[in-house]
Structure 1
């Protein structure tokens, strides 16, 4: 019996059936106890491999998405006062806007939940099977700067060009040099018709020309981002400031 099991493991390795190999021992014991027929046994083996590959693929895509730690919308607390009531959150999580290649702009003060929501929608999209990625604005700028001579950045560039969804966090937080403003515009111009874009920003669109130091580029960029777009304005006090912690205990 052990010789036959070893032979099965070798065959699994030859055909890259890692899921079957990993769960074989337990599954054979269960099959013997339940008296499974050949068809049920074979179907269960293939299902085990399918589940393993699905989970491995999801894990890989979540890793590639670069999601921040806080990105589970089950922990998100929608609040109409801050700009997003529960009904709208549920509608966003259905991802119909993604199928329609709609963009979403999350605008408002720092600490009001924009990044949390954007990352959570990205996680939902990855789990639903979309090619979705979360990137800080700095990540994108660095990629555009170095993609011509850094292989990993060239790979990143090609990956993003094929995305269904790209989240750009903290867009226009810092000014861009003219050459990078042009490069960023060209990137958006390449993807806006086939990729949904979610952006978070604490800058009003009217301030973008100052950050880019070019009103023409700012206008052209906004024209593409705001075409087929939902703008959600966040208000209120920073969650981090309201819940800031101290190294000291209660005063006596």
Structure 2
């Protein structure tokens, strides 16, 4: 610990749960002395560091609770990938105005083009804005509701799914649903209509989702509500997933070339 920080100050900061200030405090004190900063400016700088640190921690906690992949962020998207989509629309979605308006997003495209990546990236932006987010694969969501029904907690689980600001449903419309699952999805879409946003990723278009419901009437009602209030981001191209795959060249250290110099 720096000579600039006495044990009394350390004790007070720890008592106030501000001990994370300590690692950067010596540098701040030295800088204040060098530039002859007024006391109030020094105090503002130190407290601003703490606010920034707490904000970052809060975002990280929200993203972890949301089950978002930490690597899937918009700034990490590889623009050299041969994946085509409406870049202007993605920029609009990244503004999160759709979230403010309780609108939805359908990210449609073949397997591996980056649908989940972009959905999670938008989820991270929402977390940074302070929104509550939950990302879950559709089959796991249905399994969770099935188990909740067995232990009589399905109503609480549905309330949790309805309450979040942004629900990300990955791989929607892949498998046929039984009557109970169809009713659950119908209720979820109905309750979240104009009350919260949903991002759906699927390799099938909305017109093909109808066949996955056991009840055609509920299917039409749920899908009409979703599509009438949703942006369609359509992706096509080469597999983006292959770009995320670790390569042998990156996994192994480069060998030193053998010398060909004669002794």
Q: Smaller-chain TM-score range? A: 0.7 to 0.9
Match of 1:107 in 2: 108
Structure 2 partner of 1:13: 14
Structure 2: gaps of 5 or more residues: 249-263
Distance 1:130 1:182 in 2: 27
Provide TM-score, normalisation by structure 2.
0.77
Q: Which of 225-234 and 238-247 deviates more? A: 238-247
Q: Does 1:48 align with 2:49?
A: yes
Change (3 A) 1:240 1:43: closer
Structure-2 residue corresponding to 1:93: 94
Aligned partners of 1:209 and 1:217 also within 8 Å: no
Q: Where does residue 250 of structure 1 map in the other structure? A: none
Query: Which consecutive unaligned segments of at least 5 residues does structure 1 have?
Result: 248-252
Superposition map of 1:1-252 within 5 A: 5-77=6-78, 83-147=84-148, 149=151, 158-240=159-241
**Partners of 1:78 and 1:5 in 2: CA distance:** 51
Alpha-carbon distance in structure 1 between the residues aligned to 2:141 and 2:211:
19
SS for the counterpart of 2:111 is coil
* Partner Cα distance (1:123, 1:213) in 2: 34
TM-score (structure 1 length as normaliser): 0.80
**C-alpha distance in 2 between matches for 1:154 and 1:134:** 19
Offset of 1:83 from its aligned partner?
4.9
Aligned-residue offset at 1:120: 1.4
Q: How has the CA–CA distance of structure 1 residues 143 and 21 changed in structure 2, closer, same or farther, with 3 Å as cutoff?
A: farther
Q: Distance in 1 between matches of 2:109 and 2:66?
A: 24
Deviation at 1:231, TM superposition (A): 1.9
Could you tell me how far apart the structure 1 residues matched to 2:165 and 2:191 are?
13
More displaced stretch, 235-244 vs 136-145: 235-244
CA distance in 2, matches of 1:243, 1:32: 48
Structure 1 residues 158 and 47: alpha-carbon distance in aligned structure 2, compared to 1, 3 A threshold: farther
Q: Is the 8 A contact 2:206 2:227 kept in 1?
A: no
Q: How far did 1:82 drift? A: 5.2
Aligned length: 245
Indicate the RMSD between aligned Cα atoms, in angstroms: 3.3
User: How many Å separate the matches in 2 of 1:220 and 1:235?
Assistant: 28
Which of these two proteins has the greater Rg computed from alpha carbons? 2
Deviation, structure 1 residue 156: 6.7
- SS in structure 2 of the partner of residue 106 of structure 1: strand
Distance 1:242 1:68, change over 3 A: closer
SS of the equivalent of 2:24 reads helix
Deviation per CA, 1:197-222, whole angstroms, max 9, x where unpaired? 11011223333233222212211210
Q: CA deviation at 1:146?
A: 3.3
